[in-house]
Amino acid sequence: MNKNYYAIILAGGIGSRFWPISRTSHPKQFIDIIGSGKTLIQDTYQRLSKTCPKENIFILTNENYTQLVKEQLPDITDQQILTEPVMRNTAPCIAYGCFKIESLNPDAVIVVAPSDQQILDEDAFVGSLEKSLETAAEHQCLVTLGIKPSRPDTGYGYIQYTDAVINNDFHKVKTFTEKPTLEVAKSFIQSGDFLWNAGIFVWSARAIVQAFETYMPDLHNIFADARPVYNTENEATHINQAYHHCVNTSIDYGIMEKADNVYVLPSDFGWSDLGTWASIYELSEKAEAGNAVIPNEKVIMYNSSDCMVNMPDGKLVILQGLNNYIVVEANNTLLICPRDQEQSVKQIVADVKSRFGVEYV
């Protein structure tokens, strides 16, 4: 296994769209949300350890989740857990992780991956990752993995690519588009030159540090100035202070949309962004009438179809006359919501917090 290969797992989100199962104190990346026997972060760690040495895998998370990381990933040392004191989107935390790794090994090539995705074909994923690591090291470019779309999904970002290629398979990126309308998404699919944005990035430490210097100089300076304290007892204190000076910006907006050396590898490895209950419904085994019921067997449904049901073990549940609904109970909270309105869950969580405080969120 290549000692220059490193990985950063992004695990700081609160997963509000999976409320009420996902809570601020115990978010979705630490939950076995698809009933596989492993939590999402455990799955992600296991996948990346097939390519990167375990000692080279770092977890970037909120300081409140340090103990959860330790419990679920016992192989991880304290030095591999990087914590942020406040949420500042992906650009600052990725800068922190990449600058720290660069200080350990200037020849590092780094994978950055979310902790909350499902990948069904792990062999294909590992193959795409290894090709990307080799290409990023050879060409000093910024690589992103793009997923061949199967439908005009409005919940995903899209990457448009050109015919210009390096290493035969890596296409130069033309544009990034955030979640489009249905009509725009349909036009993307028809054009044939768009991919879903998986949010998985690969680059050399040198290339990403240079990109921060060029496109986000203020953020570059914050984490470059911290070089003397990385991997010392003063690191956490310094980073906690520095974080309050960081902009709240995504890596896509801050760098990927601006850089001229961004390439995408069209990939197909059974990817799903587990961002909503609809995504869980699509992946779940369906009973009669298209109902997905996990994990409780004591659910009886009458004249109901295409529902996503997730109830506590042992609870008897009877549903009648529901079609295309999400029914979820957890943490003393019951959510019943039409599947086509699940994007409102994030706002519901905000309203619950406003009315009842943090107890239920």
Quick check: 257 pLDDT over 70? yes
pLDDT band at 334 (very low <50, low <70, confident <90, very high): very high
361 within domain boundaries: no
How far, in Å, CA of 247 to CA of 252, rounded? 14
Q: Based on the fold, state whether residues 145 and 171 are members of the same structural domain.
A: yes
Report the distance separating Cα 203 and Cα 109, nearest Å. Answer: 6
Report the amino acid identity of residue 246: C
Domain range holding 42? 5-272
Residues 266, 174 within the same domain? yes
Segment of 17-21, 98-102, 289-293 carrying the highest mean pLDDT: 98-102
DSSP-derived secondary structure letter, 252: I
Query: Residue 139 domain-assigned?
Result: yes
pLDDT surpasses 90 at 313 = no
Residue 202 has pLDDT above 80, yes or no: yes
Least confident of 235-244, 316-325, 342-351: 342-351
DSSP string computed for 63-122: GGGHHHHHHH-TT--GGGEEEESS---HHHHHHHHHHHHHHH-TT-EEEEEESSEEES-H
Q: Is 80 exceeded by the pLDDT of residue 175?
A: yes
User: What are the tens digits of pLDDT across the range 41-51?
Assistant: 999 999 999 99
- 304 and 205 in one domain? no
Per-residue pLDDT, averaged over 92-104, amounts to 97
92 pLDDT above the threshold of 90: yes
* Mean pLDDT, the chain, integer: 92
Domain boundary (214, 249, 272) is at 272
For the segment 16-39, the average pLDDT, to the nearest whole number, is 88
Tell me the one-letter amino acid at 283.
Answer: L
Going by pLDDT thresholds of 50, 70 and 90, the confidence category of residue 247 is very high
Same domain, 181 and 41: yes
| 243 and 323 fall within a common domain | no
Q: Tell whether 260 and 303 lie within a shared domain.
A: no
Number of domains in the chain: 2
325-330 sheet: strands from edge to edge: 292-293, 308-310, 325-330, 333-338
Does residue 334 sit within a domain? yes
Single pTM value for the model: 0.92
Residue 313 inside a domain? The answer is yes
95 and 173 housed in the same domain = yes
Q: List the CATH number of the domain containing 263.
A: 3.90.550.10
Please, are residues 32 and 80 in contact by the beta-carbon 8 Å criterion? no
Domain boundary among 272, 306, 339: 272
Which pLDDT band, with edges at 50, 70 and 90, does 296 fall under?
low
Task: Band the pLDDT of 359: cuts 50, 70, 90.
Answer: confident
Q: Are residues 228 and 319 in the same domain?
A: no
Q: Are strands 308-310 and 292-293 parallel, antiparallel or unpaired?
A: parallel
Which position has the higher pLDDT, 297 or 100?
A: 100
My answer on whether 135 and 77 are in the same domain is yes
In a domain, 316, yes or no: yes
Task: State yes or no: pLDDT of 164 exceeds 90.
Answer: yes
Q: Where does 116-233 have alpha helices with state H?
A: 122-139, 182-191, 205-215, 217-224
The answer to which of 111-115, 194-198, 356-360 has the lowest mean pLDDT is 356-360
- Tell whether the model's pLDDT for residue 297 goes beyond 80: no
Q: What is the mean pLDDT of residues 247-274?
A: 93
> Is the domain of 136 the same as that of 231?
yes
The pLDDT, as a whole number, for residue 153 is 81
The answer to whether residues 155 and 286 belong to one domain is no
pLDDT at 35 over 80: no
Name the nearest CA neighbour of 209 among 103, 320, 346.
103
Where is mean pLDDT largest: 114-123, 207-216, 268-277, 311-320?
207-216
End of a domain among 272, 287, 304? 272
Whether residue 214 sits in one domain with residue 314: no
pLDDT band at 256 (very low <50, low <70, confident <90, very high): very high
Q: Please report whether residue 74 resides in a domain.
A: yes
What integer is the mean pLDDT of 285-313?
88
